[in-house]
Structure 1
Amino acid sequence: MTEAVDSLDDQMAAELDETDLQDEGVDLSMVIDLQRCTGCGACNIGCAQENNLQEGQAYSSRIIETNGKFPNVSYEYTPTLCNQCDDAPCAEGCPTKALYKGDGGITMHDHEKCIGCKACMVNCPYDEITLNKEDPHPRWEETDALIENGTASPKQVKERADVDENAPAYYNPNREVGEHEHPTRYKGVVEKCNFCVHRLNEGELPRCVEECPCEARIFGDLNDPDSKVNEILGKYNPDVLKEEQGTAPSVKYVRDYNGGGYEQGTGEAGLGD
C-alpha cells in the first residue's frame, strides 16, 4: 500500500498551518455495530496493551446504563473512544496548539507542546481526554513482593524484562513512532486515542478494531465509495454521541437492534491508498 500522507515524524515536526493539516483525499471513520458488540472488553484490553497505558487510563472505554428493577431490567453497553470530531473543541481551545487536526481527520497531540492546562479536557464533551497526574507506571517501581521470598517484586519483574526504565514490564515498543511521541507519556501532559496512527502508518488497523472478536468495529475511509464503512452506513442510519454538541464525530454507531445483515469485515487498514 502506497502512502497518502507524510510520515508521522515529518507531520509532527512541520509547522502547523491551518491550510495543510488534513489530506483532503482521506476521511477516516470508525463504525461500531451495537448489535454485534457483546461488551466483552477485548477492545479495551488490546488498546491498553498497544498504547502502554497505565492503570487508570483508558483510550477505549464504555458507557454502561442499567434501568429498572429486577426482574424487569434493561442493560445498555456503549463502547466509546475519542470521536475524532471534524469540529474538535479540544483542538480549537488548546492554547499551545498541542492538539491539532492531522491527516485523515485524526485529532493529534504533540506532547512537547502540551502544558497540562486541561483546557482540552474542559472543552471535550465526551470526557475522552485524561491528564497524567504522576510519573508513568509507578507500580513497577515497587520493591515489596506479594509473598516474601516466594514471588518477585514488581521492580524485579521489570528488571528481568529488560525494558526502558520508564516503561512497564509488558512494554510495546511499536508505540515509539516519532520524536514527539513519548511511548509511555509522562507526568503533566494529557493523552487520548489517535486511532493508533502508528499502526495506520504501517498499513494496519487500529488495535481495538483488530482485537474485536465479533468484528463489531469497522474502520475505513468515508471518501472511498467502496469502503466497508460506507457499505454499512448505506444500510443503516448511524447515530453519534451527543449530536447536539455539533462536533461532527467520526465515530458512528449503527443498529441497537436490526434484523438485517451484511457480510462481516473490519474494513480497510492504513491512511490511504
Structure 2
Amino acid sequence: MTRYGMVIDLHKCVGCGACQIACKKENNVDTGMFWSHHLIEESGVFPHVRHEYTPTMCNHCADAECVRVCPTSAMHKDENGLTLHDASRCIGCKSCMMACPYSAVNFNRKDVPRSWDDDEAIIPGCTSTAKEQQGKTGLTVPYYNKDRAATYPGVREVGTVEKCTMCDHRVKVGLAPYCAEVCPAQARVFGDLDDPQSQASQLLARYESHVLKPEVGTHPAVHYVRGF
C-alpha cells in the first residue's frame, strides 16, 4: 500500500504564491475558489513583530471527516491514501464542507465564470474583450487543461463541490503535484510517507514536524517542517 502525502518546508517557503497560481491553472479552479491557499499570522508589537506564512491545501486526512459524512460516498479515499471526490455522485448537500475542519472544500455556484463572458473591453478600441478571447480559443474557461479531465471533470458542474486532489491525474502517470513541481524554492516535497526511502519520509525523519489542527484527530497527510 502507498500513503501519499506532502511535506512543506516552511524555512524554504518565501510566500511567493506560485503554488496557488499553478494550482488554478492546472486544475481550472474558478475565481474566488482556492484549492491551494495560505494562512498569514502577524504577532507582536512594532518593532518586535513576527510574520508567518503557511501554505494550505486539502490535508488528505487518514480519518477524513468529509468522507465520513458524505451520504453518497462521493467523497472517498483511494488506494493511495488520497481523499478524492466523485463529482458524478455528488448531490451538492455540502455536508463535507461543514465537516471539514480546514475549510478546504469549495462549492460551485455557477457554471462558467461570468467575467469570461464579458463583452466589454478594459480599454475600448485597444484590448480585446474576454468574450472575444473565449471565441478565438474555443474554451469556456481560461487555462482549460485536458490532462485534468483524465481522472476528474475538467470543469466542475454547478451544484457540486470540489477541492484539491493532490493532482491525482499527474500522480497516476508518475509526476508530482503541480504545486510541488513549480515551487521555486523546492519547499514542497511529495511522496510515499510509508516509504522510508522517499524524500518526504526522510524530511520527516530529519526534522520535527507538525500538522494543522492536530486536536481534531483527522491525521493529515500534509506535514510542515521548520519555520517560515
TM-score by length of 2: 0.96
TM superposition shift of 1:162: 2.3
**Residue equivalent to 2:66:** 90
**Residue equivalent to 1:256:** 227
SS across alignment from 2:218: coil
What amino acid is aligned across from residue 85 of structure 1 in structure 2?
Answer: C
Quick one: distance in 2 between partners of 1:106 and 1:136? Answer: 27
TM superposition shift of 1:116: 1.0
**Residue equivalent to 2:156:** 185
Quick one: distance in 1 between partners of 2:4 and 2:112? Answer: 30
Match of 1:210 among 171, 181, 187: 181
2:107·2:161 contact (CA, 8 Å) conserved in 1? yes
Match of 1:129 among 105, 114, 118: 105
> Deviations for 1:120-154, whole angstroms, at most 9, x for unmatched residues?
01100001001111123221111111122322110
Map residues 40-189 of structure 1 onto 2, 5 A cutoff: 40-163=16-139, 167-178=140-151, 181-189=152-160
Quick one: distance in 2 between partners of 1:148 and 1:236? Answer: 56
What amino acid is aligned across from residue 83 of structure 1 in structure 2?
Answer: N
1:157·1:169 contact (CA, 8 Å) conserved in 2? no
1:64·1:78 contact (CA, 8 Å) conserved in 2? yes
Quick one: distance in 2 between partners of 1:35 and 1:169? Answer: 33
> Deviations for 1:56-98, whole angstroms, at most 9, x for unmatched residues?
0111100001123332221110010000000000000001111
TM superposition shift of 1:203: 1.1
Quick one: distance in 2 between partners of 1:52 and 1:88? Answer: 24
Quick one: distance in 2 between partners of 1:135 and 1:85? Answer: 29
2:205 equivalent to 1:225? no
**Residue equivalent to 1:270:** none
SS across alignment from 1:67: strand
1:136·1:185 contact (CA, 8 Å) conserved in 2? no
Quick one: distance in 1 between partners of 2:209 and 2:48? Answer: 28
SS across alignment from 2:87: coil
SS across alignment from 1:134: coil
Quick one: distance in 2 between partners of 1:49 and 1:176? Answer: 13
**Residue equivalent to 1:10:** none
2:7 equivalent to 1:31? yes
Task: Work out the number of aligned pairs and report it.
Answer: 228
Quick one: distance in 1 between partners of 2:79 and 2:168? Answer: 10
SS across alignment from 2:211: coil
TM superposition shift of 1:198: 0.3
What amino acid is aligned across from residue 207 of structure 2 in structure 1?
Answer: Y
Quick one: distance in 1 between partners of 2:18 and 2:131? Answer: 27
Quick one: distance in 1 between partners of 2:205 and 2:142? Answer: 44
What amino acid is aligned across from residue 212 of structure 1 in structure 2?
Answer: C
Q: Single out whichever of 33-42 and 68-77 deviates more from structure 2.
A: 68-77
Identity, % of aligned positions = 45
TM superposition shift of 1:254: 0.6
Q: CA RMSD in A?
A: 1.2
Quick one: distance in 1 between partners of 2:112 and 2:34? Answer: 14
**Residue equivalent to 1:194:** 165
2:28·2:142 contact (CA, 8 Å) conserved in 1? no
Q: Which runs of 5+ in 1 are unaligned?
A: 1-24, 258-273
Moved over 3 A (4+): none
